[in-house]
Amino acid sequence: MARLNGLPESAVTQNRCCYPAFVFFCCTAAAAFAAAYVVREDPIYFWDFRGYWGLYAHFLDGISNFRSWLQGMIRDLRISEYNFVPVIPLQPFKLAFQGSRAGYIAAIASLYLVPVALLTTHLIGSLAKRFELPLPREISWLLVLTAISFPPFWIPTLRGHPDIVGCLPLVALSVLFFREDVAGRLPWKHLVVAGVLLWLPFLLRKWYAYALVALVIAAGTTALIQHFAHRRLAPERRGLFPWDLLRNFLVVGMISVLCATLVQRGLVEQALSTDYADIFSAYQVDFPTHVRSFYRHFGPLLLLFAAIGAVGGLFSRRFRIPTLFLVINALVLTALFTRTQEFGIHHFLPLGVWLFCLAALGLMLILGRLRNRVVLRSFALAIASLFLLSFVNSFVRPVGLVSRLLPESHCYPLRSPNLEQYSRLEHDIRRVLNKGDRVAIFASSLSLNADILDSVAGGTLQPYFQAVSHIDKRDRFDLHSLAAAYAVSTAPAQTHVAPADQRVITIPAEEIFNGSGIGAAYVALSETYPMDGFVARVYRRTRAFTFAELRSLLESLTDVYPDWRAHYRFTDLIHATGFFELGDVGGMVSRGDEDQVLIHPGENRPTRATYGFGRWGAEGVRQISLSVPAEEKWRCADADGVKVRVSVRGEEVFSGILAPDGLATDVAIPHPEVEGLLSLAADKSGNLSCDWLHVRFVTGPLQDAAPIPTEN
């Protein structure tokens, strides 16, 4: 191999005078490009595209009550998969740009993406220094520019993912690994730094655990190989067993685990007890699809040079150790992650780092065989131009026939032909909602979901949304979603993975749109919203669900997922059927314990709560227990009780005034095995002072196991 004008480190980092100015220029240019990109987008951000943007914009909300704010932050840090840590360094941008989307993306690009790109090239420089790889000055600059314009770094960044921040400690730990003699006895301060760096990616984003396991395996394997190679060459320098190496890795691992346990105990316990391969099976694909996904995301040019780097490096004695480190990282990370799900655009980030380093190695192996400097520079410039074209091709427009060499995955600014219909839909939803009303959006596709409507509404709809499940195995069906006064449904039902994995969306959406099952309890409002490939409509719930309607919905789910049946308590089903007509001025219905409901009358009209009841397995509602707690009399001296009427299947079974004495009045349900509606009306006796009626559902096995007649 011809000797090039090799440099021990990156040519950029060697020039101490221009380096700070160069970094500032890169950060400014990255921020400017990010802001210009966002300006071209429609406001249709959803899910992970906007999740951390919301944390970024509202991180300091409530800080005036510092103690309460700090307690909330600590609680969030302990249990949340999406904690606030990645947005803390971005807060100066928030203060400068008022939480705007452009400021948020610009902050990620300049504070995270550019440092990761520079640190990645520094890792390549560190490998060049330790293993005497040829790294000429021209190649150093081209590597830096190519890393900063690397599409796999930019695609998740422009979509609002701050996950690239996790690559900073990951690459920094790799730099330290190659800088230190890990087979020797390292100082404690170095071990502490390494332990904290090993934990930080998990703190920043939980899914980096896969990359950390891969890093530990790669570092341990290459360190052992180096140890025994050194022992063979210089036996007096190494013992038979690498005790120092084992001690270094154990201490670093223990420090990392201790940090995670102390700071994120709830999340660690959840991670250890969760089968992620099962709950994320909706995002799993077959092997050919995994391969196509890799090819589309990285493109043939990068993969070709990475393959050259991997094969050439492994067959070269001098380059074998760094190549083995990079290859093991990439292979183990891929194997671990693809056992769980398909890579998302942000999950490719650590893999992109290792492939970029391998591609750089492949480029240097090729250039090392070119003796003519003119040919060398021309070849390097041509390759760099192709990589820069991949940036243009990914974010601006296709570049013609040469695009066959570039990644197929594009990240053009978000635009939608449905924007006008989104605006109509969110405006009409806000128009029909009254105080306290909620709306459930039974749509979960890239074309319609709750987050899109909230984005179009400028964040004003979020308080009115009822939480809705999206993925079957991850979420189960949330009965609380049926409590909303309004629902949005579509035809056909909108999903973002296979409909068979989103029955929690498709079944209620289809029933509501078709007016069957639980949909019979809704009426469609007059407006329809034709969109690209589907139609959306708003529905208002007008009555309680019958128990047969709700049971039919749940059985269509539990037939597919039998283990769900044990998850739904009978009283949860009773509460889910409820429909409430609130009295004016003070009328309220609130759920107490699992088998209780609290009802408060209005000033001029009663509050009415209606529930469906029937059989769930062998269980049913046998009676209800009514009371007004004695404490109400202590709190309100003029409390005079609540006037109550109870009807079952339209027939009154109880009427009277319950005094605030805490004594329970039991009302039996006639023929509880026969499905029907239970109606409770709570009215004031003389005044509204502390008029809280407590209703407890008394459930148990039904003796009659005969087929269940249904009410007409």
Q: How many CA atoms, within 13 angstroms, populate the side-chain half-sphere of residue 599?
A: 33
The per-residue pLDDT for 28 is 95
**Which residue matches tokens 């004008």?**
5
Is-contact 63 54, C-beta < 8 A? Answer: no
Q: How many CA atoms, within 13 angstroms, populate the side-chain half-sphere of residue 317?
A: 1
What are the mean pLDDT values of the chain's consecutive 10-residue runs (712 residues total)? Answer: 39 60 91 94 94 93 90 92 94 91 96 96 83 67 87 96 97 91 84 96 95 95 82 55 85 95 94 91 94 92 92 87 94 96 96 95 79 73 79 71 74 93 94 90 96 93 94 95 96 95 97 96 92 96 96 95 92 94 90 87 94 90 92 84 94 93 91 93 90 92 60 45
The per-residue pLDDT for 7 is 37
Nearest Cα residue to 149 out of 6, 322, 33, 311? 33
The per-residue pLDDT for 403 is 65
Q: How far apart are CA 243 and CA 234, in angstroms?
A: 17
Within 8 A by CB and 6+ apart from 646, the residues are 624, 626, 652, 653, 654, 655, 667, 678, 679, 680, 681
**Which residue matches tokens 């429909």?**
579
CB atoms under 10 Å from CB of 118, counted, come to 22
**Which residue matches tokens 């005094």?**
659
* Residue 44 backbone dihedrals phi, psi, to 5 degrees: -130, 50
What are the residue ranges of helices labelled H in 15-113? 18-39, 48-58, 66-79, 91-97, 101-108
pTM, two decimals, is 0.89
The per-residue pLDDT for 526 is 78
The per-residue pLDDT for 9 is 46
The per-residue pLDDT for 183 is 75
Whether residue 288 has a cis bond before it, omega within 30° of 0: no
Torsion angle, alpha carbons of 331, 336, 339, 345, to 10: -80
Nearest Cα residue to 183 out of 215, 253, 230, 120? 230
Sign of CA dihedral 152, 155, 161, 165: positive
The per-residue pLDDT for 712 is 42
Q: How far apart are CA 337 and CA 590, in angstroms?
A: 44
What is the distance of C-alpha 566 from the center of its chain? 27
Burial class of residue 374, CB neighbours in 10 A (0-12, 13-18, 19+): exposed
- Written as six digits, the tokens of 548 are 């047969």
Within 8 A by CB and 6+ apart from 179, the residues are 126, 130
Q: Which residues are paired to 528 by β-bridges?
A: 537
**Which residue matches tokens 């047969």?**
548
* Residue 505 backbone dihedrals phi, psi, to 5 degrees: -100, -50
